Amino acid sequence: MKKLRLLTLLIAGPLLGLSACKKDTTPPETKPGVKLTANAELGNILVDENGMTLYFFSNDADGQSACTDGCLDNWPVFYSSTLEIGSGLDQNDFAVITRSDGKPQITYK
């Protein structure tokens, strides 16, 4: 009987240890890449996943960005290859354009 218990412990112990090492297949929770946030002065504004304000440039038109050279130093391009949007936003309001420098940029409406 002692041999049977010992054999059971020798087999069950490592199996229990291995089951504790099971890989978690739950996908990590993703933060939206773009979301709405309330601003006391402006109302709801678009921000990126780090809370940085996303700006509209009125010179952009017809799917072309007019922000080049020095403008890019102050207003970096926003782009994410897998854009997740927050609640209150419509995925169809976002698009990707190819800038004159060949780089992609996400646009809104």
- DSSP for 81-98 reads TT--B-TT--GGGEEEEE
Report if residue 38 sits inside a domain: yes
Report if residue 83 sits inside a domain: yes
- Number of structural domains (the chain) is 1
Report if residue 64 sits inside a domain: yes
CB atoms within 10 A of CB 33: 20
Report if residue 24 sits inside a domain: no
Report if residue 17 sits inside a domain: no
Q: Quick check: 53 and 88 in contact, CB under 8 A?
A: no
Enclosing domain of residue 54 = 30-108
pLDDT at 21: 56
pLDDT at 47: 94
Q: Quick check: 49 and 33 in contact, CB under 8 A?
A: yes
Q: Quick check: 84 and 33 in contact, CB under 8 A?
A: yes
Instruction: Tell me the per-residue pLDDT of 23-74, one tens digit each, with 9 for 90 and over.
Output: 667 665 566 789 999 999 999 999 999 999 998 888 888 888 999 888 888 8
Checking if the pLDDT of 14 tops 70, the result is no
Checking if the pLDDT of 19 tops 90, the result is no
DSSP state of 109: -
